[in-house]
Structure 1
Amino acid sequence: MNRSLLTMRAALVLLLGVLVGAGADALTALSGRGPAESVMAGAAACAGAVAFFDWVIDEG
C-alpha cells in the first residue's frame, strides 16, 4: 500500500501559501519592523494565500 500523506493539490496549495508567507515576512523585516510584527504579517499572508489558492486551483 503506497498512499501519500497529501494529495498533489494540497501540497501545492500549502507550498504556495508558505512561499507567500515567507515573502511577506522577509519584506516586513526588511522594512525595519520588529520580528514579532514580521512574523504576524507572514502568518496572516500565509493564511490568506492558502485560502486564495484553495479557491483558485481547481480540484480537477
Structure 2
Amino acid sequence: MHAAVVFLTAAMIGFVMGGLVFLHGESVPAAVAAGLVAAGGSLLVLHRLIG
C-alpha cells in the first residue's frame, strides 16, 4: 500500500509539472522530460515523507 501511494503521488506531480511546462508554451518533448524529472525526483522525498 505504501509503494502505491508513493508512486501515484509521484505520477500526479509529474503530470502537473509536465502540464504546466506545456501550458507555458514549451514543446511536448520538453514537457514530458520535465514531468519525468519531477516524478523521478520526488520519489525519494515522498518515500521518506510518507514512510
Instruction: Determine if the TM-score, normalized by the shorter chain, exceeds 0.5.
Output: yes
What letter corresponds to residue 29 of structure 2 in structure 1? A
1:19-53 CA-to-partner distances (Å, cap 9, x unmatched) read 00000000000000001100000000000111110
Moved over 6 A (4+): none
Q: Which residue of 2 aligns with 1:31?
A: 24
- Which has the greater radius of gyration? 1
Question: Which residue matches 2:13?
Answer: 20
Residue in 2 that maps onto 1:5: none
TM (norm. structure 1) is 0.81
Greater fraction helix: 2
The answer for unaligned runs of 5 or more in structure 2 is none
Question: What percent identity do the matched residue pairs reach?
Answer: 29
Tell me how far apart the structure 1 counterparts of residues 22 and 44 of structure 2 sit (CA, whole Å): 24
User: What's the Cα RMSD here?
Assistant: 0.6
TM-score with structure 2 setting the length = 0.94
User: Using the alignment, how far apart are the partners of 2:19 and 2:45 within structure 1?
Assistant: 20
Match of 1:15, as an amino acid?
L
Query: Which structure 1 segments of 5+ residues have no match?
Result: 1-7
